[in-house]
Amino acid sequence: MSSLFQISVSSMQALQTAIATTSNNIANANTPGYAKESVDLATTAPQLNGSTTLGTGVAVTSVLRAFSQVAANQLNSSQSSLGQLGSLQTYTNQVANIGGTTAGGLSAALQGYYNAWANVANAPTSIATRQALLGAAQGLASSFQSTSSQLQSLHTSINGAITADVQQINSIGASISKLNQQIIVGTAQAGGQPPNDLVDQRAQLLSSLSQIVGVTTSIDSNGALNVFVGNGQPLVLQGNVTKLTTLPNPFDAAQLEISTAANGKNIISGSITSGDLGGLLAARTQLVDPALNQLGQIATALSQSANAQQNAGLDLSGSLGGDLFSIAAPAATASSANIDATSATVGIANGGALTANDYVLSYRGGAFSLANASTGAAVAFTGAGTSANPIAADGMSIVLSGTPANGDQFLIQPTVNAAGSFKVALTGPSQIAAAGAIQTLAANANSGSATISAGAVVDAAYPNLLSSANIQFTSPTAYSINGAGSYAYTSGANISLNGWQVEIAGTPAAGDAFTVQSNAGGTGDNRNALASAASQTLDVLAGGTISVNAAVSAMITGLGSQAQQVNSAQTAQAAVNAQALQSVQSISGVNLNEEAANLMQWQQAFQASAQALTIGNNMFSNLMSALSNGIL
């Protein structure tokens, strides 16, 4: 009789736990991160009854949490990738919008600038057309500045987002560590049964963390969860929480890097490649910085080519033209870790050879090395870094103020500041050099058939550029210059002197003479204006393979294409993430229909156990009545 009571009571107790577990599942069907639970039932130890062994009932051995570590890892990994692409997508679209609007305005401003030169060529003495050219040049400068400013503003936005992500990572890390302690204590108090609700909370925190930064995990024997970020940087490890912090970049204090609080020098930005934080870092290094450099490369090439042409002509006063545009010098920043005060100065030796790259110049073991700042790839160079023998590479000329200390590094940014500093240098319309700097004349008494070209300036800085020179033929095959020397004549060959170059073609006679002299007074000359207008098709970038117009168009197209690629990747990753989430939900999610069926099953079993207990109680009452009445 006692076994009947024991079996019925154990059954009712176990079924009561099962009903409570099922009810808890139903109550938390929509709770984020909740994993459904189920009771694990087992028969209790049997008893020997005479020659027969009888069961003694049922017991709940544990409340199981429906969970797959593999599915959870896949979900967290997909969320990290989706977070990275989502953040990257945000900034890619912003950069593309800047390219399509502001930089698109730059394309229009550039065309307006060249058109204004054509108008000056049509009326070289007109102050109105010259003033219009200055206005078009100013509009072009404003477009460069505006585009650069908008790109620079994204740096501020990225810094703010990085700071917010780091704070959130630290907060989640502290919360996971706190839950670890509670889970350890709760598991010990429950005889090895982990507190599932706390484990769910911890898993949900880890899921949230994976959206911000890529994570890997391990679980200690006591149930504590260890969390690592980046390439294995511990965030939560055996009860210890490592806080992350932001630090100024060693080369650029306005750019934040991620480090560990325990060691401020331990910058781990390069190892964080996924999650929202990885997307922010990628947006900065793969989008914003390259766009700024590319824009600066265009501004530098345009400034140099425009100034070179302006310098090769004469203004209305008969003076050689001054620079039309001005830009800031390339940036050369010493690392904050350098142990001496050696500085670097960078000049542009060949604008056409410039790239849109940044570089790191290092000095170790008594020798310099130059590397691409983004890829770390070595860059070939010549020179020793002195004023007499500068380091020359990719169109740059680098001079050090002294001998650096071992380990010193310098960040070289040849184009980053060019677009933002792009300005019009001329102050008045009369300073526009529309006329050619030199003119050529054939002597009236010439009897041969030779003719001379208009001449071209090849070195506007040559001191004697505007000095007169007389070319006189001593015979049909030889000539002297200013009465000196004897040079062999070849029809159509270049004759160069004083920074200019001319061609004489045909058959000269002995005594024929030609003069090359200053074009001062040639106010109606438009040769330099024509050359400036035609320079829009001049290939001045990428080693003389692409024009400024084409470079602007290529930049706009490239930014749009990059945005499209990221958008497509984000859409694909969203599908992968949805599939991973569905996989987790199929394992851990609550199915209300299934739980309703379980609830009915447990309820019916509970009622049957209660009926068995009632029957046992009636049997016991009848037995006691019989004993008291002397029936037995």
Burial 391-427 (b: 16+ CB within 10 A, else e): bbbbbbbbbbeeebeeebbbbbbbbbbbbbbbbbbbe
Q: What distance, in Å, lies between the first and last C-alpha atoms of the chain? A: 16
pLDDT single digits (tens) 233-272:
999 998 899 999 999 988 988 899 999 866 667 889 999 9
Average pLDDT over residues 465-484: 96
CA distance 176 to 163: 20
Weakest mean pLDDT among 78-82, 180-184, 521-525, 573-577: 521-525
pTM for this model (two decimals)? 0.87
Of the candidates 170, 147, 113, 435, the one whose C-alpha atom is nearest the C-alpha of residue 305 is 113
* Bridge partners of residue 39, in order along the sequence: 63
Average pLDDT over residues 455-463: 94
Residue of 231 and 75 predicted with greater confidence: 75
pLDDT confidence of residue 264: 62
- pLDDT of res. 624: 63
pLDDT of residue 551: 92
Q: For 570-599, what is the mean pLDDT?
A: 93
Element at 536 (helix H, strand E): none
DSSP state, 45?
P
E-assigned strands of 252-380? 256-260, 263-267, 313-314, 325-326, 331-334, 344-348, 359-364, 367-372
Average pLDDT, the chain: 91
Bridge partners of 378? 371
Pair 335, 411: CB distance under 8 Å:
yes
Which residues touch 24 (CB under 8 Å, ≥6 apart)?
37
Instruction: Report phi then psi at 119, rounded to 5.
Output: -65, -40
Band (1; pLDDT cuts 50, 70, 90): very low
Residue 202, helix vs strand vs coil: helix
| Pairing, β 513-518 against β 469-475 | antiparallel
Summarised one tens digit per residue, pLDDT across range 593-622 is 998 998 899 889 888 877 876 776 666 666
Question: Which position has the token pair 């990719």?
Answer: 394
Q: CA-CA distance, 345 to 161, in Å (whole number)?
A: 33
Tell me whether residue 382 is exposed, middle or buried, using C-beta atoms within 10 angstroms of its C-beta: 0 to 12, 13 to 18, 19 or more.
exposed
Residues 6+ apart with CB under 8 A from 500: 437, 438, 455, 456, 457, 458, 462, 465, 516
Q: Can you tell me which residue has the tokens 């936005």?
A: 157
Average pLDDT of span 429-435: 97
At 441-451, the pLDDT tens digits run 999 999 999 99
How would you list the strands of the sheet with 256-260, edge to edge? 244-248, 256-260, 263-267
- What pLDDT is recorded for position 26? 93
Which residues on neighbouring strands pair with residue 345, listed in sequence order? 399
The per-residue pLDDT for 510 is 96
CB 517 within 8 A of CB 471: no
261 three-class SS: coil
Residue 47's pLDDT is: 77
Per-residue confidence at 227, pLDDT binned at 50, 70, 90? Answer: very high
Name the residue among 4, 3, 24 with its Cα closest to residue 602: 24
pLDDT of the residue at 626:
67
And the tokens for 483? 């009465």
Instruction: Please state, in angstroms and rounded to a whole number, the distance separating the CA atoms of residues 510 and 446.
Output: 9
366-381 pLDDT tens trace: 999 999 999 999 999 9
Find the helix or strand (DSSP H, E) in which 504 lies: strand 500-505
Of residues 261 and 575, more confidence is placed in 575
C-beta of residue 498 within 8 angstroms of C-beta of residue 469: yes
Report pLDDT for 544.
Answer: 85
Question: Could you tell me the pLDDT band of residue 631, with boundaries at 50, 70 and 90?
Answer: low
For residue 622, what pLDDT is reported? 62
Mean pLDDT value across residues 511-517: 97
Q: Which residues pair with 241 in a beta bridge?
A: 236
- Cα distances (angstroms) measured from residue 195 to each of 59, 181, 183, 185, 190: 19, 12, 6, 9, 8
pLDDT digits (tens, 9 = 90+) for 304-326: 999 999 999 999 999 999 999 99
State yes or no: pLDDT of 2 exceeds 70.
no
Residues 6+ apart with CB under 8 A from 313: 320, 321, 433, 434, 435, 436, 437, 457, 527, 528, 529, 531, 532
Please report which helix (H) or strand (E) contains residue 232, including its range: none
Residue 147 burial (C-beta neighbours within 10 Å; 0-12, 13-18, 19+): buried
Q: How far, CA to CA in Å, does 458 sit from each of 146, 475, 480, 494, 568?
A: 34, 28, 21, 12, 50
Q: What is the pLDDT of residues 114-145, one digit of tens each?
A: 999 999 999 999 999 999 999 999 999 999 99
- The reported pLDDT for the residue numbered 365 is 93
Residue 229 makes CB contacts below 8 A (sequence gap 6+) with: 169, 213, 214, 215, 235, 244, 272
What the block records as the tokens of 345 is: 């100065």
| H/E segment holding residue 480 | strand 478-481
pLDDT of the residue at 12: 84
> Stretch 427-449: mean pLDDT, rounded?
96
Is the pLDDT at 627 greater than 80? The verdict is no
pLDDT of residue 103: 60
DSSP 91-121: HHHHHHHHHHTHHHHHHHHHHHHHHHHHHHH
Rounded Cα–Cα distance for residues 275 and 281 (Å) = 10
pLDDT at 276: 97
Report the percent of the chain where pLDDT is more than 70: 95
Proportion of the chain in helix, strand, coil states, percent, rounded to 5: 45, 25, 30
